[in-house]
Amino acid sequence: MIYLDHAATSPPLPGVVEAMAPWLRVPANPASAHGAGQRAAAALQHAREQVAALLRRPAEGIVFTSGATEANHQGIRGWAVGGARRVWASPLEHPCVHGAIEAAGLRRIPLAVDSAGRVVLPDPDAPARLGGAGEPDRLDEPGGSGGLLCLMAVNHETGVIQPLGAARALAARHGLRLHVDAAQALGRGPVPALAGADSVVISAHKLGGPVGIGALSLLSGAPFPALLPGGSQERGRRGGTVPVALAVGFGAAAAQAEAEAEARSARYQGLAEPLRRGLVALGARLVGEAAERSPTHTCVVFDGVPGEALVQALDLEGIAVSSGAACASGSLEPSPVLVAMGDPHPEGALRVSLGPGSTAGEIERLLAVLPRILEGVRLALELQGG
């Protein structure tokens, strides 16, 4: 199989599997006082430091979770319990962020999105309204501060890099907490500047670590309630025994991502350029072409051709790609991300995402079979319509 859906999940790297293996065979409860427990605690702390080093944030602020979904829920709920009542977020955010906002009971104020797939933020120094027409909330009005600003670092469907610098300035100017979902931004090249964010979410399996673990990174000393109370683990911020084997694998993946950041970026650029040229030559329209994008994510639309039909046809050829977010795969609804961008054919999205194992030969194979697949899908659509 040719696997080109690394934005959904990336298989564990060999070094990750090797690092995890010993911890799958021994007792490893880091809360235990005996020697085995203390060895597990030391391994857990080392993994915490490796994840923190990748993020360039304090190790004591790393809270291990079951993944990015839980981390987003814990982060957003935590700020709500801490006093935030309103949250500014765009339609581009991952569905788990929208779900967390709703579950926390926050009033969501929408941020605008431009046609290139970037969140539009106002000048932090100008009195400005955050939200759509008719929205009464202004950051310069009394009581306008103290809310939460949610912004993903890299969009999961389009790969468009979002304006974190402008978000930090806006949050600092108006007293907002900044929550960043960085699940799609790490392990793919240079690490984005995350130092100014109040909370950051990361997922292990998106960067070649194991499935089932992620982290919420908080600034040192931030008061935060546990989403899962009932234990003193993770400094009282997340009850339950931390899976040491998964954490060790997470740490190994983070360390490798940090060490290989520049090399990965150059390699992915070298693969993305011929991929995008080849897709355009076949009649595809690049989504987010006017914006800066991650080299690992390529989202295109073949106008008039449903993305799901292409995904299914490519799967029969042994090529795994996606029509959007994995959590929404198979949905009959068009991509909410492309809808927010005003794309005229949001149902036609096709996402090709690269990972550590991707090769030039795989790209060539995809481009070689696509003309025949496009012809077949279009013919089937004509027969259905006529």
Q: Which residues are catalytic?
A: 327
Q: What is the residue type of 288?
A: G
**Crossing angle for the helix pair 360-385 and 261-281, to the nearest 10 degrees:** 40
Contact 299, 321 (CB under 8 A): no
- What is the rounded CA–CA span in Å between residue 189 and residue 347? 29
What values do phi and psi take at 364, rounded to 5?
A: -60, -40
Structure-token pair, residue 225: 């309630």
Which strands make up the sheet holding 107-110, listed edge to edge? 62-65, 214-218, 199-203, 177-181, 148-152, 86-89, 107-110
Contact 246, 264 (CB under 8 A): no
Using only C-alpha atoms, what is the Rg of the chain?
22
Start-to-end Cα distance in the chain:
35
